[in-house]
Structure 1
Amino acid sequence: MNGSVRIGHVLGVPLRIHWSVPLLVGLFGYSLGAQTLPAWLPGRSSAVYTLAGLVGALLLVGSLLAHEAAHAVLARRRDIPVQDVTLWALGGVTQMGKPRTAGAAFVVAAGGPLTSLVIGGAALGVGIGLDALFGWAVPAAVLVWLAWVNFLLGVFNLLPAAPLDGGRVVQSVIWWRTGDRDRAERAAARSGQVLGFLLIAGGWVLVLRGAPGGLWSMLIGFFVLVVANMERRQAGMAAALHGVRASEAMSSPVETCPDWLTVERCVDDVAMRARHSALPLLDLEGRPSGLVDLSQFARIPAEQRGTSRVRDVATPLAQCTTCAPDAFLDDVLDKARPSRGGLRILVVEAGLLVGIITARDITRLVQRHALRGPET
């Protein structure tokens, strides 16, 4: 997700934090410390309310992390690759490959909301216990608030509409019943579009009636609608790519560049006539050794271009996405590594480069598929 930074790992999965997370902490911390707690427990000092609000907001972020970590752990146990977990103002996103079976999709999707409900139950029980046994009213109130938010998070995420977890659950059930994953993805995306419109419309009505919470509903609805639209397009793309092999999608022949050339010679002799915005590199034996995005050349000072080798600024082959010509394209895309300049897949056979697949090639396949007729 753009605007996020990597801060470490959670259970072996890279963890990223979006710039909006501090906004989330500030918003919920203020709401809890300045509004909720004074109404529940009047008479405490401002310092107590402020500290309690901050602790409650941080506990909420921790529970969001636990929700996403549950998705990641369950996915990895079912051999689904997980790229990273990102926290942001509206919750979290776990980037992972597609499940291979409907059962795996169901378990991974249900794990997040169930974790939120379990956290909510635990927080409620501990909060009641602290108040009853020790009379710690403020910590108890914070935990009760945390329980309420997690119950709300769990129930909301179980709504049957993608990209919410409930939509993934419905998608897995339709997939199991029909055996058609593409159809299930389209149905879940359509339900997400409907939910997004309803949330936006309901939020607008609340705003007109003077309820500021309507803005939050509109924001969530807009997010759901945008992601649902994107997922419906992706479902259409998946249908277009089903059964297509890399050799049918790749561009060939490919302009390449010897990796021992200087940047200056590469720009003058190769880059200026290249069709693609990235150049595969070949070593002395003619085997692929990496990939260089042409935009990287522009960041090299002119005085260094005559001495810098292309391989020194390129992405090594080990960090590139590669596949064999007979590999199914949808499987390759599931495992594709993120690239600085977009989708680039090097097609390699017997150690030699035979083609390259870019976003333009994928778009061409999808357009051809659309010419055959509308979705069913």
Structure 2
Amino acid sequence: MKGTVRLGRIAGVRIGLHWSVAVTAALLTLLPARGLYPYAHPGYPTWVYWALGLATATGLLASLLAHELAHAVVARRHAIEVRGITLWMLGGVAQLRTEPRDPRTELRIAGAGPAISAVLGVLFTGVAAGMNALGAPDLAVTAVSWPAGINVVLAVFNALPAAPLDGGRVLRAFLWRRTGDRLRATLGATAAGRFVGWFLVLTGFVSVLAGGSAAGLWPALVGWFIIAAATAEACQERLRDQLAGTTVGEVMTLWPVTAPSGSTVAQFLADAPLGRLRHSAFPVLAPDGSAVGLVSVTRINRMPLKARSTTPVDAVMRPLGNLETAEPEDSAADLLPRLSSSAERRALVLHAGRLVGIVSLSDIGRAAQRPANLRHRGRPA
């Protein structure tokens, strides 16, 4: 997801914040600080409401992170590599490198998030009840009760049987186990997702028109996201089905044009035959022939013309550690979701540690439209 700031790692999982999470943080701070807390418990200094509002927002964002970490931890226990977790305006995303291989694994990974949210809701409720029993100020009790309710709502909402929500994953696991057909299961879960999405959109707009409040725009926005995500997931699953049995080596571009590490941008542009190439990004190779990164035409175009003669390619490339990589024998279908969520929309193909090709999202899309017997392009020796 573009526009993400990395925060570090928790339990070995990379954590990032999308810029849009600032909108959520602001709303979660503003609503209780300016609305709920002063209305329910007047008479306190303004800074107290704002401090509790900020604490509430921090607690809720931490709850979202715990929800996604639960998915990640269970996935890793099933030998599925987790690329990272990104929190954004409408929640969070745990990015898995591969899809679950069977319905049982899908069920366990999907159910972990709502389960943690439900547990947090119960814990916050218990803390609020204990504080009330000990005679704590009502404002403090309310400040703890609100996250309790939000976590319960988060658990219930995510449990709805509609992709891409966690409940949609559970539904897909059930349909997958019942029919033995992953594609049919996905299409059923995404159809349910679109139904729920349109329901939220319509009810949101009806709320705005009937009540005159802008609060209905939030469920409408969530519904629109669910519709878009469910539609994209259905399309991606159809592509996966069409790519069944196809390897990365069969769809990649063999021996792509490369940029030498250490050369200037101007030298690369002068020497590379850019005009006849389909790709607009090029692997960068070290003097020993190992791949060290990828430089794109888009990144070069952002540079001032005068700087190109003195700026090395290495300064504008995306390092290898931030890129997707694959082996020629890897499944093209498994690579598809990784490319869809990557910044460059392409992967370097390595064989025995050496660059042998490059594959883009559009390469895989074109390959899916061709007959299976035309996808074979050979593999490196």
Q: What TM-score do you get using the length of structure 1 for normalisation?
A: 0.86
Per the alignment, residue 264 of structure 1 pairs with 266
Contact 2:106-2:173 within 8 A present in 1 as well: yes
Q: Secondary structure at the match of 2:330?
A: coil
Contact 1:321-1:337 within 8 A present in 2 as well: no
Per the alignment, residue 81 of structure 1 pairs with 81
Per the alignment, residue 374 of structure 1 pairs with none
**Structure 1 154/348 Cα, relative in aligned 2: closer, same or farther at 3 Å?**
closer
Greater CA drift, 295-304 or 86-95: 295-304
Greater CA drift, 5-14 or 47-56: 47-56
Contact 1:240-1:369 within 8 A present in 2 as well: no
Q: Secondary structure at the match of 2:211?
A: coil
Contact 2:186-2:234 within 8 A present in 1 as well: yes
Per the alignment, residue 152 of structure 1 pairs with 153
1:367 partnered with 2:369: yes
**Structure 1 209/256 Cα, relative in aligned 2: closer, same or farther at 3 Å?**
same
Greater RCO (CA < 8 Å, at least 6 residues apart): 2
Partners of 2:92 and 2:293 in 1: CA distance: 33
**Structure 1 43/186 Cα, relative in aligned 2: closer, same or farther at 3 Å?**
same
Q: Which runs of 5+ in 2 are unaligned?
A: 373-381
Letter of the 1:30 partner, please give it. L
Per the alignment, residue 5 of structure 2 pairs with 5
Per the alignment, residue 163 of structure 1 pairs with 164
Per the alignment, residue 273 of structure 1 pairs with 275
Q: Which runs of 5+ in 1 are unaligned?
A: 371-376
**Structure 1 176/312 Cα, relative in aligned 2: closer, same or farther at 3 Å?**
same
Contact 2:239-2:333 within 8 A present in 1 as well: no
Partners of 2:173 and 2:142 in 1: CA distance: 38
1:226 partnered with 2:239: no
How far the C-alpha of 1:290 sits from its partner, in A, is 4.8
Partners of 2:59 and 2:245 in 1: CA distance: 46
**Structure 1 301/253 Cα, relative in aligned 2: closer, same or farther at 3 Å?**
same
Q: Secondary structure at the match of 2:197?
A: helix
**Structure 1 70/284 Cα, relative in aligned 2: closer, same or farther at 3 Å?**
closer
Partners of 1:62 and 1:302 in 2: CA distance: 45
Which digits, 9 at most, give the CA deviation of each residue in 1:85-124, with x for residues without a partner? 1222222121123122222211111111111111111111
**Structure 1 291/132 Cα, relative in aligned 2: closer, same or farther at 3 Å?**
closer
Which digits, 9 at most, give the CA deviation of each residue in 1:253-300, with x for residues without a partner? 643455565543431232433412123455667676654323344455
How far the C-alpha of 1:39 sits from its partner, in A, is 4.1
Which digits, 9 at most, give the CA deviation of each residue in 1:183-236, with x for residues without a partner? 222221111111111100111111111152321111111111111111111111
1:292 partnered with 2:277: no
Q: Secondary structure at the match of 1:8?
A: strand
Contact 1:121-1:147 within 8 A present in 2 as well: yes
Contact 1:119-1:150 within 8 A present in 2 as well: yes
**Structure 1 278/228 Cα, relative in aligned 2: closer, same or farther at 3 Å?**
same
Per the alignment, residue 110 of structure 1 pairs with 111
Contact 1:257-1:282 within 8 A present in 2 as well: yes
Per the alignment, residue 99 of structure 1 pairs with 100
Greater CA drift, 282-291 or 174-183: 282-291
Q: CA RMSD in A?
A: 2.9
How far the C-alpha of 1:167 sits from its partner, in A, is 0.5
**Structure 1 338/170 Cα, relative in aligned 2: closer, same or farther at 3 Å?**
closer
Per the alignment, residue 16 of structure 2 pairs with 16
Contact 2:163-2:190 within 8 A present in 1 as well: yes
How far the C-alpha of 1:308 sits from its partner, in A, is 5.5
Aligned pair partner of 2:346 in 323, 344, 347: 344
**Structure 1 47/308 Cα, relative in aligned 2: closer, same or farther at 3 Å?**
closer
Percent identity over paired residues = 40
Partners of 2:314 and 2:33 in 1: CA distance: 55
